[in-house]
Amino acid sequence: MKKQFNRMRQLANQTVGRAEKTEVLSEDLLQVEKRLELVKQVSHSTHKKLTACLQGQQGVDVDKRSVRSPSKKLPLTSLAQCLVEGASVLGDDSLLGKMLKICGETQDRLAQELLLFELQIERDVVDPLFTLSEVEIPNIQKQRKHLAKLVLDMDSARTRWHQSSKSSTLTSKETSTGAKADALREEMEEAANRMEICRDQLSADMYSFVAKEIDYANYFQTLIEVQAEYHRKSLELLQNVLPQIKAQQESWVEKPCYGKPLEEHLILSGREIAFPIEACVTMLLDCGLQEEGLFRVAPSASKLKKLKASLDCGVLDFQEYSADPHAIAGALKSYLRELPEPLLTFDLYDDWIQASNIVDQDNRLQALLSTCEKLPTANSNNFKYLIKFLAKLNEFQDYNKMTPGNIAIVLGPNLLWAHTEGNITEMMTTVSLQIVGIIEPIIQHADWFFPGEMEFNVTGNYGSPVHTNHNANYSSMPSPDMDQSDRRQQDQSRRPLSVATDNMMLEFYKKDGIRKIQSMGVRVMDTSWVSRRGSSSSRKSSSTPPSVQPPAPPSDSLNPEQPADLSTSPSQTPPPISADRA
């Protein structure tokens, strides 16, 4: 009891500074002691954050901390199971089902790689950091506290021995006092011996900690190496899967075509003529050549949207759409307009415009022919196919009222446009008139530009629905017996936006642009057929088509305001054919 009281008193004296505390560690070991605490803090925080990064550790108690737990499932594993289940639902018949199956198997393999990665990280990095911060350093610190206690005991014993020695000189009982001093000296020596043993052990542990710092640093090198190996294997796995995914997509028949580059669509589909162009032209040849206002009258927006979607996925009901040639024509116009680059290309835009500005008819046709020959092969084949069809359509102009000029006005802006477009007002300017001046003579002289016959059903995959006259059932067409004013009022109230836009362009050509058109030799679109519609019903009743040769344009096809002198406009007679073109 007395010994403990002396120890408490010694500790109190050292605390308040009245007694000197013996320092048994060297200066180097004192620096190591300070570093121990810093390393412990860093290791503890690193271990905590690194454990949180292990996906297999989320939600696991500390006493169950292990990614080896079979009850814990990685998020990638759940994703893989979801994808595989989705693939089984959709089946291998669909492209989406195939993609889900491949991706599900890939995610499962990635999950296995991740599991192995986390197991190695836990074994080689996480566990050693835990041992360092929670076992090794705390043991050294615990030993340091024990040394401090032994130093206190030694100082206390030394203090009592000194006090006993001083008191022995003042008393006469030398025998009893000497025996007590010897006992205190032995106690002091024993305390000093225990302190030295503990100090030596602590010094060895501290020096060992300093020497093993390179091993502790290797933990983080191992972390980077394991991560690099994991990502390398994952990247290799993904790179091996990508060709399979691309092969499945390339082998899939149903590929969208609207808004895709022409050459890309032709390569993927293995065609020479774009699918929407061939499908629409083939159907129009069967059911639309005698349809009044073809390419001018806009179809139902819902019908057009449905047809475009059908063309995009390669599924067509010819019998259904044969009842609405205007929807077919609208789908063809939309495809041409939605091409990223016009069919006549941006690169040749200046050449086309320069050719249209030539006043002399023969020289203009030669310039247009020269520009046609510069077109890329894919564009040239599709343009030739389209022009041959439009020439065929022109043969029925007495029925459909679509002369070459009319066709050029409504279809030309979909074949060529500037790289940077303006608003609708800017479109109805000289540039649009020049485009009309390009398309109209090519349609008029289609056989001169593209000699030879054209087989329109190139793939032979299209049927021939029975042709019927749909004008009487088409909602946007007025009755032939309707009064002129009522017919005009109904047409204005029912026409869609695209019809209104076409009519705005027609009015522009008719009024403000008439002089420019005449100077370029382009005839104004004939709109007088609307007023003569009732009288055309007798022509429709005849099932005999016109002759193969294109008929001469009607005398009343020109606008009344247009002068009779059209010497600068292209004639129906083609220019002389050179020997090489013959």
DSSP structure string for 191-233: HHHHHHHHHHHHHHHHHHHHHTHHHHHHHHHHHHHHHHHHHHH
Confidence of residue 191 (pLDDT cuts 50, 70, 90): confident
Whether the per-residue pLDDT at 356 is higher than 50: the answer is yes
What b-and-e string marks burial along 380-410, b requiring 16 or more CB atoms within 10 Å of the CB?
A: bbbbbbbbbbbbbbbbbbbbbbbbbbbbbbb
Integer distance in angstroms from the first to the last C-alpha of the chain? 132
Tokens describing residue 535: 């009288």
pLDDT at 3: 59
In terms of pTM, does the model score above 0.75? no
Mean pLDDT lowest among 185-194, 228-237, 340-349, 559-568: 559-568
pLDDT at 93: 82
CA-based torsion, 164, 169, 172, 174: positive or negative:
positive
Q: How confident is the model over 85-103, as a mean pLDDT?
A: 88
Cβ neighbours around 442 below 10 Å, total = 25
Residue type, 175: T
Higher pLDDT, 498 or 109: 109
In sequence order, the 6+-apart residues with CB closer than 8 A to the CB of 86 are: 97, 100, 104
Report which secondary-structure segment, H or E, holds 328: helix 325-338
pLDDT at 116: 92
Whether the per-residue pLDDT at 188 is higher than 80: the answer is yes
Alpha-carbon gap, residue 406 to 394, rounded angstroms: 10
Q: How confident is the model over 485-512, as a mean pLDDT?
A: 42
Tokens describing residue 355: 């050719």
Confidence of residue 422 (pLDDT cuts 50, 70, 90): low
Whether the per-residue pLDDT at 366 is higher than 60: the answer is yes
- Of the candidates 342, 348, 520, 553, the residue with the CA atom closest to the CA atom of residue 444: 553
Burial of 201 (0-12, 13-18, 19+ CB in 10 A): middle
Higher pLDDT, 502 or 277: 277
pLDDT digits over 34-52, tens only? 888 999 999 999 999 998 8
Alpha-carbon gap, residue 508 to 516, rounded angstroms: 11
pLDDT digits over 232-256, tens only? 999 999 999 999 888 887 777 667 8
pLDDT at 12: 60
Alpha-carbon gap, residue 575 to 366, rounded angstroms: 9
203 vs 23, 31, 65, 138, 424, CA distance in Å? Answer: 13, 12, 34, 15, 90
Whether the per-residue pLDDT at 63 is higher than 90: the answer is no
Higher pLDDT, 564 or 289: 289
Confidence of residue 319 (pLDDT cuts 50, 70, 90): confident
Q: How confident is the model over 458-477, as a mean pLDDT?
A: 42
Alpha-carbon gap, residue 146 to 154, rounded angstroms: 12
pLDDT at 419: 80
CA-based torsion, 314, 320, 322, 327: positive or negative:
negative
Whether the per-residue pLDDT at 225 is higher than 80: the answer is yes
Alpha-carbon gap, residue 204 to 143, rounded angstroms: 11
Average pLDDT, the chain: 74
Please, are residues 346 and 339 in contact by the beta-carbon 8 Å criterion? no
Judged by DSSP in three states, 481 sits in coil
Alpha-carbon gap, residue 456 to 506, rounded angstroms: 30
Confidence of residue 379 (pLDDT cuts 50, 70, 90): very high
Alpha-carbon gap, residue 178 to 171, rounded angstroms: 11
Q: Ranked by mean pLDDT, which of 325-339, 502-516, 568-582 comes out on top?
A: 325-339
Confidence of residue 108 (pLDDT cuts 50, 70, 90): very high
pLDDT digits over 402-415, tens only? 999 999 999 888 99
Q: How confident is the model over 379-401, as a mean pLDDT?
A: 92
Alpha-carbon gap, residue 513 to 559, rounded angstroms: 12
pLDDT at 177: 64
In sequence order, the 6+-apart residues with CB closer than 8 A to the CB of 328 are: 280, 283, 284, 287, 288, 307, 321
pLDDT at 73: 75
Whether the per-residue pLDDT at 316 is higher than 80: the answer is no
Cβ neighbours around 240 below 10 Å, total = 11
Enumerate long-range contacts of 529-534, CB under 8 Å, 24 or more apart: 529/292, 529/401, 530/487, 530/491, 531/484, 533/292, 533/478, 533/480, 533/487, 534/480, 534/481
DSSP for residue 574: P
Q: Which residue has the tokens 């007798």?
A: 538
288 vs 7, 118, 329, 468, CA distance in Å? Answer: 115, 68, 9, 9
DSSP for residue 419: S
Judged by DSSP in three states, 128 sits in helix
Please, are residues 442 and 571 in contact by the beta-carbon 8 Å criterion? no
106 vs 81, 87, 101, 154, 441, CA distance in Å? Answer: 11, 13, 9, 69, 58
Q: How confident is the model over 561-570, as a mean pLDDT?
A: 36
261 vs 276, 340, 347, 386, CA distance in Å? Answer: 13, 6, 15, 17
pLDDT digits over 433-462, tens only? 788 889 999 999 999 999 888 888 777 655
Q: How confident is the model over 499-522, as a mean pLDDT?
A: 44
Higher pLDDT, 431 or 133: 133
Percentage above 70 pLDDT, the chain: 68
pLDDT digits over 269-278, tens only? 888 999 899 9
Report which secondary-structure segment, H or E, holds 144: helix 137-168
Whether the per-residue pLDDT at 136 is higher than 50: the answer is yes
pLDDT at 430: 54
